[in-house]
Amino acid sequence: MDAHLPHDYIGVERLRLEMYRKLAEARDEERLREVAAEMTDRYGEPPAQVQNLIAVARFRLLARSYGLTDVSMQGKHLRFGPLPLPDSKQLRLKRYHPDSVYKAALDQVSVPRPTTRRVGGDPLRDQPLLEWCAQLLSDVLGAPPLPRRWVLVQRVARGHERVTGMRARRLLAVASVAVGLVALSGCRSEPGVAAYVGDHRITEDAVTEVIDDAREKNPAPAETAETPQMPAAPAPRLPGRSEVVSVLVLTEVCDRISAAEGYQPQREVDPAQIAQGIGLSPDTGYVRQTAELYDCLSGIPVGEPVAPTEQELAELVAAGKRAGAVPADVTVEQAASQLDGEQLRFALANRNSLAQAVEAYDVTVNPRYRPLVFPVLSFSAETPIVAVGVPLGEPASGAVSDISTPKSQPTAAPTDG
């Protein structure tokens, strides 16, 4: 799905970011139409890529109304989820799409990607594919749920329930006609793409190349006879795919915002410092990439320290307990007095500034990596536990996630002190 704001349509990076943000923040069809009209008025008739981007936003609204968070390509199939189907709707799915597969344990539906003709046709792309996605949802699930304002009207105007219901059905019929201009960020997924930052693709091959390089430059120690005086050396912990994707995504975002705003790195991080912290060779590509990211991040302005909420403190203590840094019998109140300090508050401010930058650049992550989080502050453990992290792409469920991250206990990104 080619959906983005081309440079030759909006030439100024700051203005492109503004439009990406407005599209992402549109929460209903009316607001989306206003943004599209503003864009046409300011920059002219939108080209196909921009029309597709507006379609992405419109389909996202439709998908949310059904409770969907994932519509994505997997090889030659489309995946929809979560999509719990009772028996009656499973029968309807099979009637409309005999080759579909419903995975009840995962609440997922997998359907072969449609083609222009039943035999020998080309795969559908762009808006025709999105129309097909919308039609599938309508066929299997029926019309989208009533907007919340209609439910409230029905509860208040009890004497006019029949009229209100008829009016709502007419609106829904119009909405069903309008879903020809629809898409979801998940439909932007292509085979072999790990993530998008705007129109930039981070491929699975690029991720594999980083991991292969780390494996080659950090071989496991040769097996030797272990003695009490000299225990066997531990094998190096190579970065996981999610770690690599998070670094590549945030590097791209940081480079873009630095170029747009004229930010310059305030310090240079020595790759040897990163290498020592994560136990890899300094000439490893992943180590150098992480050091370059920290260089770039040092130039991004960070606001005033942010006090944690009660929920954030509770999640922080839970993360500390999972990492073994906080004893299991310690209460949130007891731990908060030690954890809530300058380091935590600066980490929260850093998270907030980076999260705003990520939102502005239309980051989409392959569902296999969701929720993807870049760690700002972590507890050390055999697999480090994120205490404060920046959600990348689709929102994470909270500030704490169990993903590997090269940090010490609890450690922030390198600073000048």
Whether residue 199 is found in the same domain as residue 306? yes
Ranges in the chain, pLDDT < 70? 144-190, 222-234, 381-382, 394-417
Q: The tokens 């208040």 sit on which residue?
A: 156
Instruction: Say how far apart CA 255 and CA 345 lie, in whole Å.
Output: 25
What is the domain count for the chain?
2
Whether residue 199 is found in the same domain as residue 143? no
Q: Examine residue 69 and state whether it is found in any structural domain, yes or no.
A: yes
Whether residue 260 is found in the same domain as residue 290? yes
Instruction: Say how far apart CA 117 and CA 96 lie, in whole Å.
Output: 16
Q: Examine residue 93 and state whether it is found in any structural domain, yes or no.
A: yes
Whether residue 183 is found in the same domain as residue 314? no
Whether residue 258 is found in the same domain as residue 144? no
Nearest to 195 by CA among 129, 244, 147, 239: 244
Position 37 scores a pLDDT of 94
Whether residue 289 is found in the same domain as residue 400? yes
Q: Examine residue 230 and state whether it is found in any structural domain, yes or no.
A: no
- Domain range spanning residue 325? 193-219+237-412
Whether residue 173 is found in the same domain as residue 201? no
Neighbours of 27 (CB within 10 A): 10
Rounded to 5 degrees, what are φ and ψ at 7?
-65, -30
Whether residue 256 is found in the same domain as residue 313? yes
Position 76 scores a pLDDT of 86
Residue 190 near residue 245 (C-beta atoms within 8 A) = no
Q: Examine residue 18 and state whether it is found in any structural domain, yes or no.
A: yes
Q: Examine residue 232 and state whether it is found in any structural domain, yes or no.
A: no
Looking up residue 156, the CATH number of its domain turns out to be: 3.90.1150.50
Neighbours of 188 (CB within 10 A): 22
Rounded to 5 degrees, what are φ and ψ at 312?
-65, -40
Whether residue 144 is found in the same domain as residue 290? no
Q: Examine residue 1 and state whether it is found in any structural domain, yes or no.
A: no
Whether residue 177 is found in the same domain as residue 311? no
Whole-prediction pTM:
0.51
Whether residue 262 is found in the same domain as residue 347? yes
Q: Examine residue 6 and state whether it is found in any structural domain, yes or no.
A: no
Express each pLDDT in 158-194 by its tens digit: 333 333 333 333 333 333 333 332 333 344 556 788 9
Instruction: Say how far apart CA 203 and CA 193 lie, in whole Å.
Output: 4
Q: Examine residue 66 and state whether it is found in any structural domain, yes or no.
A: yes
SS3 247: helix
Whether residue 90 is found in the same domain as residue 156? yes
